[in-house]
A and B are shown apart, each in its own frame.
Chain A
Amino acid sequence: MKRLFPTLVGIASVAILVAGCSTAPATSTAPHSGGTLVYATGDAEPTCLDPHVGGNYPQALVATQYLESLVSKDAKGAIIPWLATKWKESTDGLSWDFTLRNNVKFTDGTTFDANAVVANIAHLQDPTTGSSTGYLALAKVSKVTAVDAHTARITLSSPDSALLDSLSQPWLDMESPKALKRSQDVNCESPVGTGPFIVKRWDRQQSITLVRNDNYNSPPADAAHTGPAYLKSIDWRFLPDSASRYAALQAGTVDVIDNAQPDAIVSAEKTKSLKHVDAPRPGASDRIELNSSIAPFNDKRVREAFIRSASVNAGIKTLFFGTAKRSYSALSSVEALGYSEPALFGYDQKQAAALLDEAGWTQTNAEGYRVKDGKVLELNFPVSTNQSIPAEQSLFEQLQASAKQAGFKVDLHPLDLASWYGALGKNDYNLVSAPYTKVGPDVLRILFDSDGTVPAPSGYFANHSQVKDPALDELLVKASESSSPTERAALYKNAQKIVLAGYYILPLYDQQNHYLLGSKVNGFRALPSVSTPELYDTWLSH
């Protein structure tokens, strides 16, 4: 008897296991309601859940679940209706009329109408809100008025071909005007929108609990269904460590993870039960920027020599295992107006050597570095450990080694974000890599217009290559004011040609944004605007 009992338990548990396996997993394709999805994010925990305040990607990720924009984008990049059903630009391009949905309520019961649009844009433009992303995007907006209850008119100081792109971003989402009147601290804890979910609880460093909005009726035009979301609730957890995040997905502790690293993606693709969604972020490609304002990169030949000596493709292949595709463009591959020119970026040590000779870096010291007038060809490269994933940091080390063959001494300095911005503010860098997410090609104006070389009072500036080219500035201004799509496309193409041919940047790949899904997750997609997860159409199989 003593021996028999454990044996029985053993047999029983095997039987249960077998039964569990033979019950086929729900194969029905009809979505069904209910359940809690556990989402584990590797991005930083937002300090405020209202993306008007500040305005960064971690806020956009979660805000997509409870806030909505006036317009959205479809998978092909076309602007589509969301809270606004249609819009009309005046002939002079200085005023836009947006017709709004007339049956939508915020989750606190407030009606969504033209006055709500007025209140939201006023909130974004109010300095006490502390908006940065939204504030910049609305730079040309001089006035917003309610023409009638369901028509909002936006008046501009100069035409803005990027207005619709800007309004599709989560940082300009619509919030309840009544809720916005509360103190900022309260609004940061529990922003109120029109979205498919509602912020119920926020346990700092742990999770945000989101529950279904049962009265939801305003999905974007490209959603797969109408009515309330399928999921009853979302447990939005903060899991900063990438290895434990992937382990949690494998163990079934969580259902979806973001910021999946190359090794996890490769492993997941080999695992039948896991799915991979590759959703590059819009705006700029990930690239290394060459500071053209100081020596040695104030000489175009030296810039080209560095780019020719950087063995990028081999590094990407070995470090990203095929999860990242090489880019030859200043823009993300999701940008329809992106322009590529691979021939400019071929790896060629001979050409690099010839260019350096031509530029006067003819001597070589004992360590193999090029020297000119007693100065070593040294490049200072501050690396943000918050923004560059480990694979990217390793890629920079490989580029350091391949550039050494040409005689460049690259000094990599891994820094935390605040110190990294400090280094940029002092202009003592030659190379730098910074992501920039924004919808539409207008990001080129932010990154390459000479205005972008002037630091803001915070010390921040976005034109890290420090391109100061009046011809380029003119093209970018013209493009941002053009109302003709063909003219706009041609202007942006010419602008990108100047940037690429000037060897101001070394494009690497799209800004990586990978989601991994557990076996129960169906109907997941990334919203095409800024590639944040859209869980409205998502459902869990049993």
Chain B
Amino acid sequence: MVEPLIEAAMPAARTSGRWLPWLVARVGGIVFVLWAVATVTFFAIRLIPGDPAEAILGGPGSQASAEALAHARTEYGLDKPLVVQYLVYIARLARGDLGQSYSLHKSVIDVIVENIGGTLLLALLSLALGSLIATTLSAWSMHSGRLAAGVGSVLEIVAAAVPHFWLAISLILVFSTTLGWLPPVSVPGAVGYVLPVVTLGVPLAGFLGQVMRDSMLDAMASPFVLAARARGESESGLFWRHVLRHAAIPAIGIAGWAFGSLISGAVIVETIFARAGLGRTLLSAVQLRDVPLVVGVVLVVALGYIVMTTLTDLADRLVDPRHRRGHA
């Protein structure tokens, strides 16, 4: 898997001989995006009502005494002007220090490390399930005539339109309360992943399926398919070697977006199924006005988004031969 990836990525850079500016621009872009994300998040969370000093002392409305609040404000530098707090914070961030969570009294890095695994695994499994359902559905509806295409299209629209919270509660009612097959809340082991992954994977499959089927139909009608047929390619070979590859390109293109949507879905799914993860951490951090934790989680998600976009760029080159030959 690694070999072709490098092959796909490198030639363009090597032949043009301008890989250094390309790298600088890319890294510079990433740094800029992260800085912008940190700045917007910092001010957004500080400008909505709510006092971070109260987060330190057990949350809003904890009726903290004047002395306790004053103590917390000095200790965390909250008594300084907002701009000074921002500069101090950004300077610390630049050194790679995400700071201490106000509400958890732990380093933000530790909190993220503790929670990121569950969310990533959830997102990856959902992405896998979503792709599987989308591929199967579009392949089936393509091979089975107009009626199947219509049914497939309706299923996709319904799946894409279903809100996560509704799907989660419905799945719990059917598979836990009524049938008793699966646990309604997260339990250790693989069985605890089933309902959360289905909840996130099904709406995603709807989006992916719509994109994929459009381009499959597009591919079926294109000259290269006709040519392949003329060469004597079997129907299944045609599908797996040519059409699917063609259809995968736009699907991969939206994978970066899909990652973002999975993370926002994780906020809901992790709460309903009581799973530990970044989504649930983010939700409680926002409610408590825990600025360092909110910015920390948002930065990690932004970084994940950037990594996904970079990977999809590379994958695009891998699947689409036009990029490799420098036509694009």
Residues of A with Cβ closer than 8 Å to B?
40, 44-48, 53-56, 59, 127-133, 135-136, 184-185, 188, 203-206, 237-241, 243-245, 247-248, 250-251, 253-254, 386, 416-423, 425, 456-460, 462
Q: Is B273 interfacial (CB 8 A cutoff)? A: yes
Closest to B114 in A: A204
- A129 CB contacts on chain B under 8 angstroms: 68
Indicate if the CB atoms of B53 and A250 lie closer than 8 Å: no
User: Does A460 lie within 8 Å of B61, measured CB to CB?
Assistant: yes
Of B63, B114, B272, B277, the residue contacting A136 (CB under 8 A) is: B63
8 tightest A-B contacts by CB?
Answer: A54-B58, A422-B49, A418-B50, A127-B67, A247-B184, A132-B63, A205-B276, A457-B66
Interface check B274, CB cutoff 8 A: yes
The answer to whether B68 and A244 touch across the interface, beta carbons within 8 angstroms, is no
A-side contacts of B70, CB under 8 Å: 127, 457
Query: Is B229 positioned at the interface, with any CB of A under 8 Å from its CB?
Result: no
Find out whether the CB atom of A418 lies under 8 angstroms from the CB atom of B184: no
Total A-B pairs, Cβ < 8 A? 168
Complex-state Cα separation, A44 to B60, whole angstroms? 12
Enumerate chain A residues within 8 angstroms of B111, measured Cβ to Cβ.
204
Contact with A along B43-69 (1 / 0, CB 8 A): 000001111011011111111111111
Contact B64 A422 (CB under 8 A): no
User: Which of B85-93, B200-208, B257-265, B281-289 sits within the interface?
Assistant: B281-289
Shortest A188–chain B CB gap in Å is: 7
**How many residues on B have C-beta within 8 angstroms of the other chain's C-beta atoms?**
55
Given A240-B274, A247-B184, check contact A421 B169 (CB 8 Å). Answer: no
Contact across chains for A205 and B281 when beta carbons are under 8 A apart: yes
Residues on the B chain within 8 Å of A53, using CB: 57-58
Chain-A contact segment, one of B136-144, B172-180, B233-241: B172-180
What would 20 more interface pairs be, CB under 8 Å, given A127-B70, A253-B185, A421-B61?
A: A46-B58, A47-B104, A47-B105, A54-B57, A127-B65, A127-B68, A130-B58, A131-B68, A205-B280, A243-B172, A247-B172, A247-B185, A248-B185, A417-B61, A418-B60, A418-B288, A421-B60, A456-B63, A457-B69, A458-B64
24 interchain pairs (CB within 8 A)? A53-B57, A54-B58, A54-B62, A55-B63, A127-B68, A130-B58, A130-B65, A130-B71, A205-B276, A205-B281, A237-B185, A237-B274, A241-B273, A244-B172, A245-B185, A247-B172, A247-B177, A250-B184, A417-B61, A418-B48, A418-B49, A420-B60, A458-B51, A460-B63
Contacts of B134 in A (CB 8 A): none
Bound CA span A539–B45, Å: 46
A456 touching B65, Cβ below 8 Å: yes
**A133 CB contacts on chain B under 8 angstroms:** 63
Complex Cα distance A422/B52, Å?
12
Q: Is the CB of A251 within 8 A of B180?
A: yes
- Shortest Cβ distance from A456 into B: residue: B66
Say whether B69 contacts A458, CB under 8 Å. yes
**Whose C-beta in chain A lies nearest to the C-beta of B103?**
A47
Q: How far is the CA of A496 from the CA of B63 in the complex (A)?
A: 24
Residues of B within 8 A of A247 (CB): 172-173, 176-177, 184-185
* Known A127-B65, A419-B48, A458-B54: A239·B274 in contact at CB below 8 Å: yes
Q: Is the CB of B61 within 8 A of A48?
A: no
Given A204-B104, A456-B66, A457-B69, the answer on whether A248 and B183 have CB atoms closer than 8 Å is yes
A55: chain B residues at CB < 8 Å are 58, 62-63
Smallest beta-carbon distance B153→chain A, Å = 31
Contact B177 A250 (CB under 8 A): yes
Question: Is there contact, CB below 8 Å, between B54 and A241?
Answer: no
Closest A residue to B51 by beta carbon equals: A458
Q: Is B271 engaged at the interface, CB distance under 8 Å to the other chain?
A: yes
Pick the contact of A44: B54, B59, B169, B272 (CB < 8 A).
B59
Inter-chain CA distance A238–B271, complex, in Å, is 10
Question: Would A132 and B62 count as touching, CB distance under 8 A?
Answer: yes
- Taken together as a complex, chains A and B put the C-alpha atoms of A320 and B158 apart, in Å, by 33
Is A458 a contact partner of B53 (Cβ separation < 8 A)? yes
Q: Is the CB of B284 within 8 A of A45?
A: yes
B115 at the interface (CB under 8 A from A): yes
Please indicate the chain B residues that have their CB under 8 angstroms from the CB of A135 in the complex.
Answer: 65, 68
Task: Tell which of B169, B183, B184, B286 has the most Cβ of chain A within 10 Å.
Answer: B184
Residue in B59, B71, B183 whose CB lies within 8 Å of A253: B183
Could you say which residues of chain B place their CB within 8 Å of the CB of A421?
Answer: 49-50, 60-61
Distance in Å from the Cβ of A342 to the closest Cβ of chain B?
31
Question: Which of chain B's residues has its CB closest to A136's CB?
Answer: B63
The answer to whether B72 has its CB under 8 Å from any CB of chain A is yes
Q: Do A203 and B276 form a contact, CB below 8 Å, given A56-B59, A248-B185?
A: yes
Contact at A127–B71, with CB atoms within 8 Å?
Answer: yes
In the complex, the chain A residue whose C-beta lies closest to that of B57 is A130
Most buried by A among B50, B62, B176, B284: B62
A47 to B180 alpha-carbon distance, docked (Å): 34
